[in-house]
Amino acid sequence: MKRFLVFILCLSFLNVFSQDKKITDFNSKIIQSNYTLQVPINELATDFGTNSALGLAYLSNRNDFLLGLDVNFMFGNNVKNDSLLQTISTEEGWLINASGELDTILLYERGWNSHILFGKSFRFDEKYLTGIYVYAGIGYLQHKIRLENNRTDLPQIDEDYIKGYDKFTNGISTKLCVEYMYFSKINSVKFNVGVELVNAFTKNRRSYNFAAMEEYDNNLRIDQLIGVKFGIIIPINRNNEEKFHYY
C-alpha cells in the first residue's frame, strides 16, 4: 500500500512539473506585416520630409528572449531639395526634352533597411503572449532620390547622368523599437503598435554632385528616423501556440 501511495505522489509531482514547463518553457514564432510613418531628423531631414515604410519582420520568442530579422521598403514624395535640377532647367523649373517640348521631373524618396533583431518580451500574463516587446537591431540602410519623367526622352537625366542627381546613400544602421503586441484569448485578432528609432551611419556613394557642380565630400552622415508603426501578427507555429495559450 505504501509503495502504491509513493507511486501516486511521484506521478503527481511529474504532472505538476510538466504543467509548469508548458507555461514557462515555450518557443513562439511570428511574422509581422507592418506599416510605419517615419519622420526624418538630423541630416536626413535636409533632403526629405515625412515618409512611409512597408515591412515584414520575423520574431522568435523563446522564454521571453527575442531573436529575429526585418526588412522595410521606404518611400515618399516629399523631397526638399528644390535646387536639385537648377543647372538643367529653365527659370520656371521646366526641362526641355529631346523633341524640344517642356517637361517636368517628379522626385521621390526611395530606400530600404534591414536589421538583425534581439530583445526581450514583458508579458502581462505568463499564460499568454500579450505584452510589451522591446528589441534592438543592427543592419543596413539605403536611400536615394528617384527622378521620374513623363515617359519622354530627357537626355539630361539618362543613365549616364542620373547618378549625379540621385544622392545615393547607404551605410550601417541600428534600430531601437518598443511595441505592444496583442493576442486575443477568444478569437484570431493579433496586432502590434509601437515606436522606433532608426540611427544610420551613412555616406553618399556618388562621386560628383551635378546640382552643385562639385565633388561630394563623402563625409560620414548620421541619418535618423523616428517612426510610429502598426501591423498584424501571423503566428507560424499554431500547435505550440495553442498548447501555450489554452492550458
In CATH, what number is assigned to the domain containing residue 104?
2.40.160.20
In a domain, 16, yes or no: no
Looking at the domain assignment, is residue 8 inside a domain? no
Q: Which amino acid is at 240?
A: N
Q: Is residue 213 part of a domain?
A: yes
Indicate whether 181 belongs to any domain.
yes
Residue 107 counted as domain residue = yes
Interatomic CA distance for residues 54 and 234, integer angstroms: 16
User: Which SS3 state, helix, strand or coil, does residue 162 take?
Assistant: helix
Q: Where are the beta strands (DSSP E) in the chain?
A: 27-42, 51-62, 65-76, 95-96, 102-103, 106-123, 131-148, 169-183, 190-204, 208-209, 214-215, 221-235
List the grid coordinates of 185: 484569448
What per-residue string of b and e applies to 89-112 under the rule 16 or more CB within 10 Å gives b? beeeeebebeeeeebebebbbbbb
If one counts the domains in the chain, the total is: 1
Sign of CA dihedral 128, 130, 134, 136: positive
180 located within any domain: yes
- Rounded to the nearest 10 degrees, the angle between the axes of helix 238-245 and helix 2-24 is 120
pLDDT 10s per residue in the chain (247 long)?
Answer: 545 444 444 444 444 434 444 444 678 899 999 999 999 998 899 999 999 999 999 999 999 999 999 999 999 999 987 778 878 878 777 788 777 777 888 899 999 999 999 999 999 988 889 999 999 999 999 999 998 877 677 877 777 788 888 999 999 999 999 999 999 888 888 999 999 999 999 999 998 888 778 888 888 999 999 999 999 999 886 444 444 443 3
Q: Is residue 168 in a domain? A: yes
> Sign of the C-alpha dihedral, residues 42, 47, 52, 55?
negative
Q: What is the pTM of this model?
A: 0.81
- Which residues constitute the domain of residue 227? 28-245
Burial 114-139 (b: 16+ CB within 10 A, else e): bbebebebebeeeeebbbebebbbeb
User: Rounded to whole angstroms, what are the CA distances from 139 to 54, 63, 70, 112, 189?
Assistant: 17, 25, 9, 11, 31
On whether residue 179 sits in a domain, the answer given is yes
